[in-house]
Structure 1
Amino acid sequence: MKSAIALGRAPGATLVAQYVRMSTDQQQYSIANQCACLAAYAASHGMHIVESYRDDGRSGLDLGGRPGLQRLLDEVRRSPRFEAVLVFDVSRWGRFQNADESAFYEYLCLTHGVRVIYVAEPFGDGQSPMAVLLKGLKRSMAAEYSRELSAKVSAGQRRLTSMGYRMGGAPGYGLRRMVVDAKGERRGVLQPGERKSYPTDRVTLVPGPADEVATVRWIFEQSAAGVPTDHITRRLNLVSTQRRWTKTAVRSMLCNDKYMGVNTYGRFTQVLKHRLSSQPEDTWTRSPGAFEPIVSPELFLKAKAARQKRCAAVSDSDALAALRRLLREHGQLTCGLIARSPSVPSPQLYMRRFGSLRRAYELIGYVPARDISFGEKKERIAVWRDSVTAFAVDLLTDAGSAVRRSGWTMTVDDAWSVAFQLLQASKDHRRWKWRVPAVSRPADLIIFIRMAPDASAPLDYLVLPSNASPAWPALITEQPDVSARFFMFPSLAILLDLAALSRG
């Protein structure tokens, strides 16, 4: 959030902005306290606050979820009317898990003539060796606090799971969330979107309406009797008027042991804003008998065994024959179409059997038209990677830097390195987009060359520090958002600025 501060300006006062952040909605006084401290500092140092940027209830782990900081950095790049940014302390600037990422954003402000002043820190905006050392220590401490807190929260959630309490998420069809107090007494059922009122309350699962419970049991009974998932899905849709069933939903239900009363935590983790990842089963925390079961353990395991037997019974030739029938019926094949078709095995089966959907397509002689176009453009833009890398080498060499090239990576003045990657456009719902891939760390900077949709020429350059990869934008659209624009440059002139610094 950005707002202008309408205060009287003292003659000769330094124009500054302020940035404030609180982590949770419960810290209702945090923003006010920070603003009071920043205002007092500004008054005592001959400063006038002209802009205010704030992030309410925002985690400091990355840049992606902080529109206030994104707008501040975007303004810094566009001729700001302030000379400095006041921040309460290093932790309010961010608890970035890589301390270099925090330093990178501060450095970008500095290169555009804007100082970052931490008013509650002893070093303020100092750049002396001792100040730089202390600032780095504070950044590491801010990051470590989040890591320690994450570990404590995870341990607490595992303990509560083992006690039979639900750790969040939708209850699932046939189940409802029940609030219980500290003594285990039931308070009532939570409706969708509702949250418990007291911190000491806990949530458990209970059977839902009788008709939903009966449907869940019927699904398990059918599966245990050997009825394929697609047949079950078709029968459900013939009689259901409340919802549209899919094979994925039915399969997910049949695989979830909460229906036999088991409380499970840790199937997937997303620690400190990193990507969601599945975890091995031996790391899960499980509490059998935590909930009132809808189906018995015997029925659950019988249905599981029947599904495994059915999957093994589908031969490769049968699976490919089903794909051919679907192709004849619709004239094309997509992952979503396969998943929605009851008479065709799941996309996951094709991936397990043949390595990928593309390989399964090849075996039945199907070539998606979009993939042909994409492949042609990929070949067309390949030459640009070498061309841009060669141009960058010449550009920096002419400027006086010592440049060593190895493939698409170059080392500048033996001080820093940069690697070049291509971003190819793809179309989704009539809009062009560019996906930014995760890459190993081949250099200090990764420059992604964003190519035009027709692969004719580069549009611009996305310059990203490799040590801040968790904060990289995952997707660039035709109208990039602030977090992406901050890293985008119309030319490679930024390399000249960086090289000038490395040459001293």
Structure 2
Amino acid sequence: MRTTGGADQPGADAPLRRAATYSRMSTEHQNYSLEHQRIKFHAFAAANALTITRQYVDHGKSGLNLKGRAGLQSLLADVTSEPDFDVILVYDVSRWGRFQDVDESAYYEYVCRRAGIPVLYCAEPFANDNTAISSILKALKRLMAAEFSRELSAKVFAAQCNFVALGFKPGGTPGYGLRRVLVNCDGQFKQILPAGERKSQKSDRVLFAIGPPDEVAVIKKIFQWYVELGLGYTRIAAMLNSCGIVDERGRPWTRYLVRHVLTSEKYIGNIVFNRSSNKLKARTIRNPPEMWIRNEGAFRASVPAAAFRAAEQLRIRRCQHHSSLELLAMLHQLQARHGCVSGLLINAAPELPSAQTFRYRFGSLTEAYRQAGVVTAAHAQYERSRRRLYDTRAFLASEIARYAMLAGGKAEPTAICSCFLVNDSVVLQLQVARAHRYAPDRLRWRIPILRDRQVDFVLAPIMDEGNEQAIGYYLLPAGLFDKDYVIIRSERRLDFQAHAFPSLAAVFGL
């Protein structure tokens, strides 16, 4: 005689078998609550002479795949080692999983059965006894569980498309310079949703709105720097960080955040949905533009559409792939037009990719000039000295921290490039000064002073004539000078003798 759930009624004197339970609930709004499943497990165990010794739970986990389901993974691991239970209780087939490949669901049950641990479905109207009818019904239930997820996915996607067409926000964070506005079912304003908060009523909807004026000004500045000044993502991020501006989460800017701002149509008031898909937990794929769901002018724009389109065209031109021969021909044309070539001229030419593209392709600008036949001795010398200055700056940056520690203090890098916070009170700026010959026997060194970054002192190592190594160090108080730079001439170095040191160690009193 078969009992509810499919187990045979044991005899009165039969020993209690040990049972493990597995329960899963993907959302709080389901009828399959964990408490409902627990009650069913205990009722089934009492009716079938079972004692529950283990409980495996996946709370808030989808049944579409095994990833992230720590409860089921732990159960399978225990089954294949030395389990301390004799049977596994599951509410129904759908709680075991809604795998889109029904063979996957059958395989995990087979793993348990192969280890001698049967799986009993407590709420199913058939016994899981490996008979033909049981196998047919389980296969049908697995198909129904998978099809339920597919149908629900299609319904949710259709609803999201309708919401986008109505101007509602489809989901996700709003982004820098934007906010989420909560409205009721009649479209009346309720509140601005802070980060991390969600709507409390199903009938409420969320709209986009532009953020505070200071953030909108930053968005406009990013487009201006990119379109009008031709700056790249990394340079723009560095400039924002140097001004102490952080993103919407309080983090420093990166090239990827800048690129997101420049490519997101949210900033011209458009809502674009379905640019990528990972339905039913499948691999994320990028959809072609004809599959995108677009609502243009859904809310007020942060930047003019013309600026956004100009940035888009500039990005396409910069990202266009050119062969090495085409790049070399561009350098020839640039030299023919200006009589010389340089990184500044390359970046200023709108029809050319950035100078960084030439560096990536040929290893350096000097090598690109050499292969194009436009290299000069001055080019080669400048490139070598530029590399040495870069290496010197990196070396001295590490030495500053070391010498500060030896002197009993500390020097920590700040978010501003080449600046250090010494003893939590003084901002020190490192500026390696290149040597320039301006007369047959005279050199000069130009030292920038970044006043807008609230620098207290400038540490300026001056290089020798070949820009091979530092020949002296100057510690200059930033507030002592009226201009944004200081020029030290070889014949007048005594004018700065009060600020001169023979070595970096001497700067720290060592």
Q: Tell me which interval the TM-score lies in, with the shorter structure as reference length.
A: 0.5 to 0.7
Q: How many aligned residue pairs are there?
A: 325
Task: Give the structure 2 partner of residue 194 of structure 1.
Answer: 197
Partner Cα distance (1:215, 1:190) in 2:
22
1:311 offset after TM fit, Å? Answer: 4.3
Task: Give the structure 1 partner of residue 242 of structure 2.
Answer: 238
8 Å CA contact 1:25–1:56 kept in 2: the answer is no
Higher-Rg member (1/2): 2
**Is 1:164 aligned to residue 172 of structure 2?**
no
Corresponding residue to 2:212 among 205, 209, 213: 209
Superimposed CA distance per residue, residues 258-303 of structure 1 (whole angstroms, 9 cap, x where no aligned partner): 1000001111111111122211111010000112110121221122
**Is 1:289 aligned to residue 297 of structure 2?**
yes
Task: Give the structure 1 partner of residue 18 of structure 2.
Answer: 15
Superimposed CA distance per residue, residues 281-337 of structure 1 (whole angstroms, 9 cap, x where no aligned partner): 110100001121101212211222233334451276454356688998579xxxxxx
Output aligned runs, 1:458-469, within 5 Å. Answer: none
Q: For residues 32 and 122 of structure 1, do their structure 2 counterparts lie closer, same or farther at Cα, with a shift above 3 Å needed? A: same
8 Å CA contact 2:358–2:364 kept in 1: the answer is no
8 Å CA contact 2:180–2:207 kept in 1: the answer is yes
Amino acid at match of 1:235: M
**Is 1:275 aligned to residue 278 of structure 2?**
no
Superimposed CA distance per residue, residues 375-402 of structure 1 (whole angstroms, 9 cap, x where no aligned partner): xxxxxxxxxxxxxxxxxxxxxxxxxxxx
Amino acid at match of 2:290: D
Output aligned runs, 1:42-441, within 5 Å. Answer: 42-229=45-232, 230-242=234-246, 243-312=251-320, 313-314=352-353, 317-321=358-362, 329=390
Superimposed CA distance per residue, residues 205-240 of structure 1 (whole angstroms, 9 cap, x where no aligned partner): 111111110010111123232522244334323323
Q: For residues 323 and 52 of structure 1, do their structure 2 counterparts lie closer, same or farther at Cα, with a shift above 3 Å needed? A: farther
Partner Cα distance (2:148, 2:32) in 1:
21
Q: For residues 237 and 17 of structure 1, do their structure 2 counterparts lie closer, same or farther at Cα, with a shift above 3 Å needed? A: closer
Please report the TM-score for the alignment, with normalisation by the length of structure 1: 0.60
Task: Give the structure 2 partner of residue 379 of structure 1.
Answer: none
8 Å CA contact 1:16–1:86 kept in 2: the answer is yes
Task: Give the structure 2 partner of residue 425 of structure 1.
Answer: none
Superimposed CA distance per residue, residues 133-162 of structure 1 (whole angstroms, 9 cap, x where no aligned partner): 111111111111101111111111111111
Partner Cα distance (1:17, 1:251) in 2:
51
Superimposed CA distance per residue, residues 332-372 of structure 1 (whole angstroms, 9 cap, x where no aligned partner): xxxxxxxxxx9xxxxxxxxxxxxxxxxxxxxxxxxxxxxxx
SS of the counterpart of 1:314?
coil
Partner Cα distance (2:139, 2:167) in 1:
43
Partner Cα distance (1:92, 1:327) in 2:
62
Partner Cα distance (2:149, 2:89) in 1:
23
Partner Cα distance (1:203, 1:102) in 2:
38
Task: Give the structure 2 partner of residue 38 of structure 1.
Answer: 41
8 Å CA contact 1:177–1:189 kept in 2: the answer is yes
Partner Cα distance (1:134, 1:19) in 2:
21
Q: For residues 38 and 301 of structure 1, do their structure 2 counterparts lie closer, same or farther at Cα, with a shift above 3 Å needed? A: same
SS of the counterpart of 2:309?
helix
8 Å CA contact 1:10–1:48 kept in 2: the answer is no
Please report the TM-score for the alignment, with normalisation by the length of structure 2: 0.60
8 Å CA contact 1:147–1:272 kept in 2: the answer is yes
8 Å CA contact 1:223–1:307 kept in 2: the answer is no
SS of the counterpart of 2:104?
helix
Q: For residues 120 and 28 of structure 1, do their structure 2 counterparts lie closer, same or farther at Cα, with a shift above 3 Å needed? A: closer
Partner Cα distance (2:184, 2:147) in 1:
33
- Greater RCO, 1 or 2 (C-alpha within 8 Å, sep 6+): 1
Structure 2 gap ranges (5+): 1-11, 321-351, 366-382, 393-416, 418-510
